[in-house]
Structure 1
Amino acid sequence: MDNLIGKQIDQYQIEALLGEGGMGAVYLAQDVNLARPVALKIMHRQYASQPEFQERFLQEAQASARLNHPNIVAIYNFSSTQSYLTIVMEYVRGLSLGAYIKQLAQRRQVMELSESLNIIAQVADALGYAHRQGVVHRDIKPDNIMITQLEQPSRPDELPIRAKVTDFGLAKLLEGGIETQSGTFMGTLPYMSPEQALASASLDGRSDIYSLGVVLYQLATGRLPFDIKTPTDAVMKHMHETPPLPRHIQPGLPMAVQNVIIKALAKQPEDRYQTAESFAAALRRATSGLTEKDVTIFATAAEEEMVS
């Protein structure tokens, strides 16, 4: 990626690099017309020059721009020029959940159980809304969940934090449009659902529920349910292996929370929560049943397990 710091694309003055991945980079930029900060997602040139990729990128922008929810990063604009493909997004002041987990691990701290359940419930809220709009995310993982602090909770029974889902780049509109090529892995291996691992063409929102269940397992136990390094690992383990029970790893985990995790990680979609809304409701019921003793036991037992 070119050094774009200090340059201007359209009305966006680029100020800093926020992150970079295999397909492109995200920059902090200033919208000089509206005098507000934005996140500018710019694709690598090798992708930007491909007409098929441009078309799929436009699909991503259109799918994401339809979504208007407090727990989803807003899309402001899309631009396609000879040199750049860009999506202009809401700038979220905070860390990705992945970065937050790593920060806690470096400090030898753990996330409180109530905080983990709160974050996952908010992500489930976002996914429930997206699924009703006909959009499946397909790549739910900690790095695609942003965490920002609030002055006060958005709900009286929750903490003053907000989770925001970003990067619907692998989203597929259920009603049609350009689809990903069959047989291609779309997602991140440790978090993909069994049906994703099989490259099924008929994914629905229950695939995202499984992926979010993997994130919850990771937050609750300090480790992923499976050690997955290759696509073959993903198929075999997501399809056929049963992960260790969360309470075998973290004995202080309340049974109600373990039950939620197990249901979200069911191999067959029909055995999981059928909607993200029902997943969120189950998480909030489990949270409301926590006692101070539950959280203390969990935190004490989790001190030896660094989340990665």
Structure 2
Amino acid sequence: MMEPGYAVSGRYQIIRPIGEGGMANVYLAQDLILDRQVAVKVLRLDLRNDPNTVRRFKREALSTTELNHPNIVSIYDVGEENSMQYIVMEYVQGADLKKYIVEHFPIPYQRVIDIMAQILSAVQNAHDHNIIHRDLKPQNILVDEAGNVKISDFGIAIALSETAMTQTNTLLGSVHYLSPEQARGSMATKRSDIYSLGIILYELLTGMVPFEGESAVSIAIKHFQNEVPPVRNYDPRIPQALENVVLKATAKDPDERYSGVKIMAADLATSLSASRAHEPKFVPNKASDLGETKVIPALDPEGLTQTDQAEQVTEATAAKPLNQTPKKLRSLR
């Protein structure tokens, strides 16, 4: 924990802590040169001797600096001081989308579509750069005081070109928004992000997540065994065309989902149109089974590797190693 008043690299003067994550702590700071407030993400002290974590942290900075979009939190600077890795980011004054939903629900349908349009535009930009977010959830989406949306935390995003790392890296993702294929231990794709976007849309419309359970494992199982409940069961006034966007984005089989974020955005944009008032309900053509049954072994905290231990997260978060034969969900948290 850095004390208020400390100036990182003599430039970013710490004001106060504003967030904690599985890999880093985030501080509000004053940029003494440009005279503006910034957010400084600092790799946690207990992880600085883990080369894998340091590499992931550096990759976050490299991947996100490629993204220049009004709905993505900007990266201003990257550095190291006394073996302390840090990233300096745009400071967004406001609340995360999770808190926004709690405070503003029920949200008018048009406002839901406006929020999702901004999120989809940002994810489209990332996908255009072959970056999959992998951890899209309302807690990683900020809403500023003017109502503008910005996606943060590309800490586990990996460029698709890094195929070797994609197969071996341990990924984190909030289990409530986890795609069925990720829950089964398979490699995430752009359509995995689309599934998470569908769950976010579900929450914007209903004020809740579709699946709850006593543990992260039980929730993950529901993602690939249970159909997402229709949002019209919660609110029959929701147009069928709008519900269809949720149903198509959250289809169990990735092939049944939108083939790209841009197509999902176009479908969502017209979902309140009178011309689609009598649209039939979307029903997947294929069975929801994603392949062979995969075993989820008993959890053994004592057997975790150093990297696994470094990436343990809260009850609502899943730690899911992917290996060369990604057939087992070895560890969920």
TM-score for the superposition, normalised by structure 2: 0.77
Deviates more, 1:75-84 or 1:135-144: 75-84
Residue in 2 that maps onto 1:304: none
Q: One-letter code of the match for 2:5?
A: G
Q: One-letter code of the match for 1:176?
A: E
Residue in 2 that maps onto 1:302: none
Cα deviation digits, residues 103-147 of structure 1 (max 9, x gap):
34xxxx522221122111211111111011010000000011111
Check the 8 A contact 2:228/2:250 in 1, yes or no. Answer: no
Residue in 1 that maps onto 2:222: 237
Q: One-letter code of the match for 2:67?
A: L
Q: Quick check: 1:96 aligned with 2:86?
A: no
Check the 8 A contact 1:121/1:279 in 2, yes or no. Answer: no
Residue in 2 that maps onto 1:64: 64
Pair 78,134 (structure 1): closer, same or farther in 2 beyond 3 Å: same
Check the 8 A contact 1:189/1:229 in 2, yes or no. Answer: no
Q: What count of residue pairs does the alignment treat as equivalent?
A: 274
For the residues of structure 2 that align with 1:127 and 1:249, how far apart are their CA atoms? Answer: 28
Q: Quick check: 1:265 aligned with 2:263?
A: no
Residue in 2 that maps onto 1:55: 55
Check the 8 A contact 1:74/1:89 in 2, yes or no. Answer: yes
Q: One-letter code of the match for 2:227?
A: T
1:1-308 counterparts in 2 under 5 A? Answer: 2-10=1-9, 11-104=11-104, 109-150=105-146, 161-176=147-162, 179=165, 182=168, 184-201=170-187, 203-287=188-272
For the residues of structure 2 that align with 1:21 and 1:289, how far apart are their CA atoms? Answer: 44
- Aligned to 2:22, the other structure's residue is in SS state coil
- Aligned to 2:107, the other structure's residue is in SS state coil
Deviates more, 1:109-118 or 1:255-264: 109-118
For the residues of structure 2 that align with 1:56 and 1:177, how far apart are their CA atoms? Answer: 14
Q: Calculate the aligned-residue CA RMSD, in Å.
A: 2.0
Q: How far did residue 229 of structure 1 move?
A: 4.5
Pair 145,123 (structure 1): closer, same or farther in 2 beyond 3 Å: same
Pair 210,228 (structure 1): closer, same or farther in 2 beyond 3 Å: farther
Deviates more, 1:35-44 or 1:232-241: 232-241
Q: One-letter code of the match for 1:88?
A: V
Pair 235,97 (structure 1): closer, same or farther in 2 beyond 3 Å: closer
**What stretches of structure 2 of length at least 5 have no aligned partner?**
276-333
For the residues of structure 2 that align with 1:40 and 1:288, how far apart are their CA atoms? Answer: 43
Deviates more, 1:187-196 or 1:83-92: 83-92
Check the 8 A contact 1:184/1:199 in 2, yes or no. Answer: no
The alignment-based identity, stated in percent, is 40
**What stretches of structure 1 of length at least 5 have no aligned partner?**
151-160, 291-308
For the residues of structure 2 that align with 1:95 and 1:199, how far apart are their CA atoms? Answer: 32
TM-score for the superposition, normalised by structure 1: 0.83
